[in-house]
Structure 1
Amino acid sequence: MTEATEAKIDYPFDAGRALRMEIARTKLPADLVNRFERGIFRTDAPADAVVEDFADMGRSRCWPLLERALRERRADVPGAPESLRALLEPLFEPPPWFDAEQVRRGAAVWWRFAPAAVLALAAALLAVIEFGDLNKPQALNGRSERMSGRRYEETARWLMAASDPGAAAPGGAGFDATVRIRFVHAMVRRHLRRGGRWDTAAWGAPIHTSGQSVVNLAFMLTPLATYDALRMKLTDEETESVRRLWYWLGYVMGVPEELLPVTMEYAWQIRRAGNLIFAPPDRDSIELVHALKHNGIRAERRLPKRLQPRLAPVLRPAVSGAVWGLSDGIIKKTLVTEAITANGGMPSDYPGSTHIALAALRPAIAAWERLRHRGTLGTDFDIARRERAHVALVLSSIDAVPHPVRPEDAVTEP
């Protein structure tokens, strides 16, 4: 089927989205907008097929098969359904474009400045909940509103694993964690489809591929935009290595290649498509953002356990509000509007504006960059190791959950 033919498919109609699609077609290439629309009604079919097969097997049998496949790096585990082999084989034997060393290098560059990684986490979570259609899996699942702190920690643990230099390749802990999150998404999709409340016309498919693409790009683009705002110049080779990292992680997560960042320009176009096409914030957006800003960081867990119940109602909203309020302000003022040119080609019609917090850091960053260029700070991998250690220490200090959410814990079935 050709691009032109696919563009004629009649998707479920929503008046608001139809208007936004028409606006997008005046600002972006038509074929990209068509791919993005297609992705709104498309999900990760290979993962969905495995979860359906697993549902017939029972929890005690199915998830150990996945763990064995990951442990042995083997797609054809005895007793596993054919659907599991079909999903894992292209991951265990990557396409020719996969370059493990480039991906490893990209992870080190991505971790050059830990606050940029923290902003990436915030941007990705906010990207999910602030759009009035993209947030519906979170709103209907209920898990994020009631357990926003735990979700933040689980996502942080996945990000730490997936972006660990060298760990994203097949056989690495980051690779395994990303495959598991892919199954978490499939489990939630199945749960939502069976729940009877999902409105495909208004929201698209649950956890659809266009949404997954935009979230993946939030992780990739936010640090690059932060570096640019801080005047931390990346070389073309460094930017390319970061692109390769998130192209690969998106591929492992189940994002179709037509929505992966084949170039930096294409990445920014996809991000812009999301901003133009997804629904504006709604009541669920307000409630989910409120949950993050009041319960998103379980700061009381740094205290002795006997004090935690008494101080949590005060400490948690105070710290969550400060951290998420600052992050949200930086992302909206600087990272969404910054006229990025040096680190990857954000469209030049975006007005530039730098948050005061980043502007205040520029003198210190300039001195830090001089030391880095002299080699005083060690290699990129040395720097990444130290920056990651800072984030790990913070997570440990609040007794954060030890690992990302697992598929068997995502919902109560199969």
Structure 2
Amino acid sequence: MEPHLIALDAGRAARIERARERLPDEVVDRVVAGLFRTDAAIDATVADFATLGRGEGWRLLGEALRGRDPAGAPASLTKLLTPLMNPPTWFDPDRVRQGARLWWRFAPAVIIGLSGTLLTAYAYGDLNKPQAMNSRSETMAARRYEETSRWVLAATEPGALTSGGAGFDATVRIRFVHAMVRAHLRRCGRWNPLWGEPIHTTGMALTIDGFLLLPLTMHELFDMTLTPEEIESVRQLWHWIGYLMGVPDELLPHTIEDATEVSRAADMILAPPDEDTEILTRALLKGGLRAERVLPQPLWALTAPVLRPAVSRLVWGGSAGIVRTFLDSDSRPPRYHPAVFALRRLAVLREHLRRGGRLGTDQEIAVRQRRVLEGALNAMKAVGAPVHPGEAVTPR
């Protein structure tokens, strides 16, 4: 924790005190400490990569991820990957695999949760600064969504999160993306330490908790409540992904209740929306989906000015509306949101069929539901993979 920075930021200090009135001190302390902590293991590896020849670090990473022992690899890379490729005893690959299947039980719940989590990152006037200072999130809003969606698909493919799997590989590489952006922000001379560390561990935990909690909330909202055993499998999925991503143990979602409290504390402590919130959100609403690309390429330039904002506002605005209605449920019951009402009727019918065994196994359901997002991305001719660490930084 950096108490001198908290003292300089009167607004944050007041927000911390309000959080202490509603949540346990130890939860608030963990969240505040995480504002000034980063993923030191990956930062050390990226610093070592910078001393190598162009592209050499990424070659060594690729070799190491394939289980080889590349000559010339810095010790920091071995130190980083060893605990990931030799998991702790709490890691249960079967539960993680089942958690991925269950997370994909109903694609609309996942897609709304994914959208809500990305929008949440923009909603805080300090947490949004890495995105605001890297123009990929503004000028390339659609591409960033596509890259994030490709990572989500890779990371949540049942069985792909063990060493050698595509989800494992993609998640480790996204961890490098965060480190590359963080290194750039520290060098650029424009980072304000009152924002905390760039891409700090509290922000990382908030994102993991969002991917865990929001889809579960949507399943419940659609009357598709999972059993306690099923919820535990989904929790283990995101606990493991968070571990691979570099979230420290004290901020990992050890229980649903703790993940909820950490998210609530972060929501109360992080800065309120600002001008960058409006800029980033507007970029998503205007151009967050390259809908014109479902048409033949000669029509893209002609139809993009109409189709892209229309479809982006429908999808992103709709998702944001559902999430906001849920968060503001005291004023309006969320199940009466028009989209929720329609999706709930579909979900209830599907649950009836699933319980009767007419939708197949959890694996078969997950495969079909994943195709909803994959099919949409492919129809828009979206990028085929998450962003490569070497392409992560596009300064404004």
Aligned 1:4-403 pairs, distance under 5 A: 10-12=4-6, 13-72=8-67, 74=68, 76-201=69-194, 203-334=195-326, 336-337=327-328, 353-354=334-335, 355-403=337-385
Q: What is the DSSP-based 3-state SS (H/G/I as helix, E as strand, rest coil) of the residue aligned with 1:59?
A: coil
The Cα shift of 1:390 comes to 1.9
The Cα shift of 1:352 comes to 5.3
> Contact conserved, 1:59 with 1:408, CA < 8 A, in 2?
no
Q: What is the DSSP-based 3-state SS (H/G/I as helix, E as strand, rest coil) of the residue aligned with 2:164?
A: coil
Q: What is the DSSP-based 3-state SS (H/G/I as helix, E as strand, rest coil) of the residue aligned with 2:19?
A: helix
CA–CA separation in structure 1 for the residues paired with 2:394 and 2:72: 23
CA–CA separation in structure 2 for the residues paired with 1:390 and 1:141: 30
Amino acid in the other structure paired with 2:363: F
> Contact conserved, 2:334 with 2:340, CA < 8 A, in 1?
no
The Cα shift of 1:303 comes to 1.1
The Cα shift of 1:411 comes to 2.5
The Cα shift of 1:128 comes to 1.2
CA–CA separation in structure 2 for the residues paired with 1:96 and 1:360: 43
CA–CA separation in structure 1 for the residues paired with 2:219 and 2:357: 19
For 1:81-101, what per-residue CA distance to the aligned partner results, in whole angstroms no more than 9, with x for missing partners?
111111100000011100000
Distance verdict in 2 for CA 1:99–1:289, change over 3 Å: same
The Cα shift of 1:182 comes to 0.1
CA–CA separation in structure 2 for the residues paired with 1:95 and 1:270: 23
CA–CA separation in structure 1 for the residues paired with 2:274 and 2:157: 35
CA–CA separation in structure 2 for the residues paired with 1:170 and 1:97: 16
Matched with 1:345 is: none
Amino acid in the other structure paired with 1:204: G
The Cα shift of 1:362 comes to 2.5
Q: What is the DSSP-based 3-state SS (H/G/I as helix, E as strand, rest coil) of the residue aligned with 2:66?
A: helix
- Flag structure 2 segments of 5+ consecutive residues without an equivalent: none
Q: What is the DSSP-based 3-state SS (H/G/I as helix, E as strand, rest coil) of the residue aligned with 1:112?
A: coil
Amino acid in the other structure paired with 1:52: A
CA–CA separation in structure 2 for the residues paired with 1:300 and 1:353: 32
Amino acid in the other structure paired with 1:92: M
CA–CA separation in structure 1 for the residues paired with 2:107 and 2:158: 14
Normalising by structure 1, report the TM-score: 0.92
Q: What is the DSSP-based 3-state SS (H/G/I as helix, E as strand, rest coil) of the residue aligned with 2:133?
A: helix
The Cα shift of 1:337 comes to 4.6
The Cα shift of 1:140 comes to 0.7
Amino acid in the other structure paired with 1:205: E
Distance verdict in 2 for CA 1:412–1:292, change over 3 Å: closer
CA–CA separation in structure 2 for the residues paired with 1:337 and 1:266: 21
> Contact conserved, 1:135 with 1:285, CA < 8 A, in 2?
yes
Range that drifts further, 117-126 or 351-360: 351-360
CA–CA separation in structure 1 for the residues paired with 2:5 and 2:272: 20
> Contact conserved, 1:229 with 1:338, CA < 8 A, in 2?
no
For 1:222-262, what per-residue CA distance to the aligned partner results, in whole angstroms no more than 9, with x for missing partners?
11000111111211110000000000000100000100111
The Cα shift of 1:389 comes to 1.3
CA RMSD between the two structures: 1.7
Distance verdict in 2 for CA 1:260–1:407, change over 3 Å: same
> Contact conserved, 1:232 with 1:369, CA < 8 A, in 2?
yes
Normalising by structure 2, report the TM-score: 0.96
Q: What is the DSSP-based 3-state SS (H/G/I as helix, E as strand, rest coil) of the residue aligned with 1:307?
A: helix
The Cα shift of 1:356 comes to 2.8
- Flag structure 1 segments of 5+ consecutive residues without an equivalent: 1-5, 340-349
Matched with 1:347 is: none
